[in-house]
Chain A
Amino acid sequence: EDKVVQSPLSLVVHEGDTVTLNCSYEVTNFRSLLWYKQEKKAPTFLFMLTSSGIEKKSGRLSSILDKKELFSILNITATQTGDSAIYLCAVEDWAQKLVFGQGTRLTINP
């Protein structure tokens, strides 16, 4: 059975700190790994990773995939209160189905 596990489940830090969120997976027919940010409504897309070792970057956020060890990390530097959200990791198979992890609830305190 396909499985995606995120850690930590919850994280509270101060504004300005750097955080690293983890995602490990066991999936047959792997196509891609995706990171989403969810605030009050539906998830918004952050990154899609398909190749190992290539960092994707968007502002203060970056992510990398290791297909040998079957994990990905999402880094957020110089965190701001607006980064508070649930961060979801999902793995897509070749049928385009997404299997989600439990999410990491990130709280940034001022």
Chain B
Amino acid sequence: GAVVSQHPSRVICKSGTSVKIECRSLDFQATTMFWYRQFPKKSLMLMATSNEGSKATYEQGVEKDKFLINHASLTLSTLTVTSAHPEDSSFYICSARDPGRDEQYFGPGTRLTVT
């Protein structure tokens, strides 16, 4: 079964509003989670590393004030897209590595559409 969940799976919002996406590790504790973005027919691009109890580490070119990441517990990281614009429309995927296993698990993804 799924070991990393994301909610919501799909969201449509209006320009200017904010959207929160949750990523949960279900069977293990993850001190580190990752957020990726995938444009249509493109590969996954790492946006940021979410660290439990501390600030997220953002990749070059990713605006930290626009993509707010909070990792408040060992099983939950949230990504908030603030003041969303149509160009933020994308597929957002989180991942986490189970420290006891040799796999990095992906969540099912969240498809965001900004109108």
Contacts and interface: CB of A to CB of B under 8 A. Distances in A.
Contacts, number: 47
A90 B38 CA distance: 14
A101 B105 contact: no
Contacts of A32: 102
Interface stretch (A13-21, A42-50, A68-76, A77-85): A42-50
A96 B30 CA distance: 12
Given A96-B97, A97-B34, A98-B95, A41 B109 contact: yes
Nearest to B96: A96
Contact of A98 (B42, B46, B107, B108): B46
Interface residues of A, number: 21
- What DSSP secondary structure best describes chain B's contact surface? strand
B102 A96 contact: no
A25 interface: no
A83 to B, nearest CB: 19
Contact of A96 (B93, B104, B106): B104
B103 A45 contact: yes
Interface of B: 32, 34, 36, 42-46, 49, 93, 95, 97, 102-109
18 contacts: A32-B102, A36-B106, A41-B109, A42-B109, A43-B93, A43-B106, A45-B105, A48-B103, A88-B44, A96-B32, A97-B46, A97-B49, A98-B36, A98-B46, A99-B46, A100-B44, A100-B45, A103-B43
